[in-house]
Homo-oligomer: A and B are copies of this chain.
Amino acid sequence: MPTVAKSKSGASKARKTSSKGTPPPPDPFDLLCAELRAIAVLESVQRTLSWDQETLMPAGGSALRADQLQALSGMLHERRTSRKFGDLLRASEEAHASSDDELVRADLRELRRDYDKARTLPKALVQEITRTQSLGIEAWKHARQGSNFKAFLPWLQKTVDLSLEKARCYGVPKGGEPYDPLLDDFEPGMTAAQTREVFTPLRARLVPLIDRVRRSGARVDDAWLRAPTTPGAQREFCRRVCERVGFDFTRGRFDDSTHPFCEGIGPGDTRLTNRHREDGWSEALMTALHESGHGVYEQGLPKDKHFGRPIAESISLGIHESQSRMVENFVGRSRPFWQWAFPVAREVFGDALRGATPDAVWRAMNAVTPGLIRVESDEVTYNLHIMLRFDLECAMLNGDLRCRDVPGVWNERMKRDLGVEVPDDRRGCLQDIHWSMGILGYFPTYTFGNLYAAQFWEQIGRDIKDRDALMSKGEFAPILEWLRKKIHRTGKRWRAAELCRRITRKPLGADPLMRHLEAKVDAVYGG
């Protein structure tokens, strides 16, 4: 009996054993998968260290941590962009040129894209971007504190210049614009033009909706959300809710950090963080639900089997965000959810909620209040903050807007879209960290998340007829199973647009989200 090398990827199943009985040479794709796994293990070390840094590391450990992370990122960059890696990739492409294995094809498609992108940028540019990033963040912190846009202006200009250079290296597609290759880093395959196609009708319907709320003069009483509760009780409530919606604590944790996040460290280890305020419990709950959505996605990706391969990774930031927004907004702000969750909250928080009703809490959770700060904004107004940033980024990159004119345009648009006056740049165009980190092309993924979530949620409603009745009894397993099957387990097999068409039989559009928001405003504020 010939010894046949065990194929880890399964890709070599289709290859023939030599008729002479000698074992075939190893499939280059198997070797590639072994290297991908080794790289993924080192990446998971990076993520463990980053998580520790944000949650537990004593202050004195920061210099060592920087050295640890630098050592790992150096090793990883070398392995990901090495000639050896490139050779394996090319050999795999040749060996599987006509493969009918959809997973292998998806892997090779994504690996080629990543490898070429990683090697496209000259080292000098990468270093310049990294340097600008760390200096830019410091400059931004000071500028924001003093509400001094002028102090930040050179860094914004530098960010635009370096982004244009980066886009030029990646290559701007014919008929496209510089925004396209930048956005592609975060939302592969999406373009600025396609984004506008969805954003334009979304904005056209959102602005009058918010105007309607404002002019109605109705006020939602949200005092219950500020009922006095301890961080300990908040943690307990969040834990019970997150466990129920599907986060598996035997394969994950929940800790505290200054800025909440989800770290999918690797197979069997996904960690969420949250923060707790003494003056209100709703922010902690919504954050916990949001991060749980991310966490449940990470736990559902097929990492146990394919760790390191693209098919075990998430599709895009937009799809990742769709999972967190769905749990936060479509589950956690829904009436049926509160029918189940309210008694739990009463049990955990005790007298703090005496006299409240599920309906009162649900209503408080859905107040629409146009404001200045994106991260504090409600579900309805949130997307207008994003679209403003997207339009400004495109205009700067296309040369239609000078950086120094950003504050004026920002403030004028905030007045027009949300009816709010921006009193200073600190609460205006200096509020976000992203531009200071040299990141252009990221913001739209937040709204993609909301759009995808709405479109998937409608489909879930069609596929699971008693969805809302189940939720009101705290039964989320059928929804989780739907997500596992349709989204989580498919990894990066399809790009986001393709996934959306396969699941909903339609391209991404503004209608589902607008239907959801309009119905909610009707219910909360009256038709």
Chain B nearest Cβ from A152, distance in angstroms: 32
Q: How far is the CA of A112 from the CA of B71 in the complex (A)?
A: 26
Q: Is the CB of B60 within 8 A of A252?
A: yes
Q: Is the CB of A56 within 8 A of B269?
A: no
Q: How far is the CA of A65 from the CA of B42 in the complex (A)?
A: 11
Q: Is the CB of A251 within 8 A of B61?
A: yes
Q: Do most interface residues of chain A lie in helix, strand or loop, or is the interface mixed?
A: helix
Q: Is the CB of A61 within 8 A of B265?
A: yes
- Residue A376, interface by CB 8 Å: no
- Residue A45, interface by CB 8 Å: yes
- Given A48-B68, A52-B48, A68-B45: A268 in contact with B38 (beta carbons within 8 A): no
- Residue A62, interface by CB 8 Å: yes
Residues of B within 8 A of A250 (CB): 58-60
* Contact code string A152-169 (vs B, CB < 8 Å = 1, else 0): 000000000000000000
Of chain B, the residue at the smallest CB distance from A51 is B52
Q: Is the CB of A71 within 8 A of B265?
A: no
Q: Is the CB of B269 within 8 A of A38?
A: no
Q: Which of A63-106 contact B (CB under 8 A)?
A: 63-65, 67-68, 71-72
Q: How far is the CA of A378 from the CA of B17 in the complex (A)?
A: 68
Residues of B within 8 A of A255 (CB): 56
- Residue A302, interface by CB 8 Å: no
Residues of B within 8 A of A268 (CB): 58-64
Q: Is the CB of A41 within 8 A of B58?
A: no
Q: Is the CB of B253 within 8 A of A60?
A: no
Residues of B within 8 A of A68 (CB): 41-42, 44-45, 48
Q: Is the CB of A64 within 8 A of B253?
A: no
Of chain B, the residue at the smallest CB distance from A49 is B48
Q: Which of A124-177 contact B (CB under 8 A)?
A: none
- Residue A57, interface by CB 8 Å: yes
Chain B nearest Cβ from A145, distance in angstroms: 25
Of chain B, the residue at the smallest CB distance from A266 is B64
Residues of B within 8 A of A251 (CB): 58-61
Chain B nearest Cβ from A443, distance in angstroms: 33
Chain B nearest Cβ from A269, distance in angstroms: 3
Residues of B within 8 A of A52 (CB): 48, 52
- Residue A249, interface by CB 8 Å: yes
- Residue A518, interface by CB 8 Å: no
- Residue A248, interface by CB 8 Å: yes
Chain B nearest Cβ from A273, distance in angstroms: 12
Chain B nearest Cβ from A162, distance in angstroms: 30
Q: Is the CB of A67 within 8 A of B41?
A: yes
Among B58, B62, B72, B307, point to the contact of A252 (Cβ < 8 A). B58
Residues of B within 8 A of A48 (CB): 48-49, 52, 68
Q: Is the CB of A44 within 8 A of B58?
A: no
Q: How far is the CA of A64 from the CA of B308 in the complex (A)?
A: 12
Q: Is the CB of B44 within 8 A of A64?
A: yes
Residues of B within 8 A of A512 (CB): none
- Residue A267, interface by CB 8 Å: yes
Chain B nearest Cβ from A477, distance in angstroms: 19
Q: Is the CB of A42 within 8 A of B61?
A: no
Q: Is the CB of A49 within 8 A of B45?
A: yes
Q: Which of A327-385 contact B (CB under 8 A)?
A: none
Q: How far is the CA of A56 from the CA of B44 in the complex (A)?
A: 16
Q: How far is the CA of A125 from the CA of B206 in the complex (A)?
A: 71
Chain B nearest Cβ from A326, distance in angstroms: 24
Residues of B within 8 A of A71 (CB): 38, 41-42, 45
Q: How far is the CA of A72 from the CA of B38 in the complex (A)?
A: 11
Q: How far is the CA of A250 from the CA of B266 in the complex (A)?
A: 30
Q: How far is the CA of A58 from the CA of B252 in the complex (A)?
A: 5
Q: Which of A439-479 contact B (CB under 8 A)?
A: none
* Contact code string A26-63 (vs B, CB < 8 Å = 1, else 0): 00000000000010011011001100100011111111
**Which 10 residue pairs are nearest across A and B when measured between Cβ atoms?**
A60-B268, A60-B251, A61-B269, A64-B266, A61-B268, A41-B67, A45-B68, A41-B71, A59-B250, A64-B267
27 A-B pairs in the complex with CB atoms less than 8 angstroms apart: A38-B71, A41-B71, A42-B68, A42-B71, A44-B64, A44-B68, A45-B68, A45-B72, A48-B48, A48-B49, A56-B253, A56-B255, A57-B269, A58-B252, A59-B251, A59-B268, A60-B248, A60-B250, A60-B268, A61-B265, A61-B267, A61-B269, A63-B267, A63-B268, A64-B266, A64-B268, A64-B307
A residues at B contact (CB < 8 Å): 38, 41-42, 44-45, 48-49, 52, 56-65, 67-68, 71-72, 248-253, 255, 265-269, 307
Sample of 20 further A-B pairs with CB below 8 A, known A45-B68, A52-B52, A60-B252 = A41-B67, A41-B71, A44-B64, A45-B45, A45-B71, A45-B72, A48-B48, A48-B52, A48-B68, A58-B268, A60-B267, A61-B266, A61-B267, A63-B267, A63-B268, A64-B267, A64-B268, A64-B269, A64-B307, A65-B269
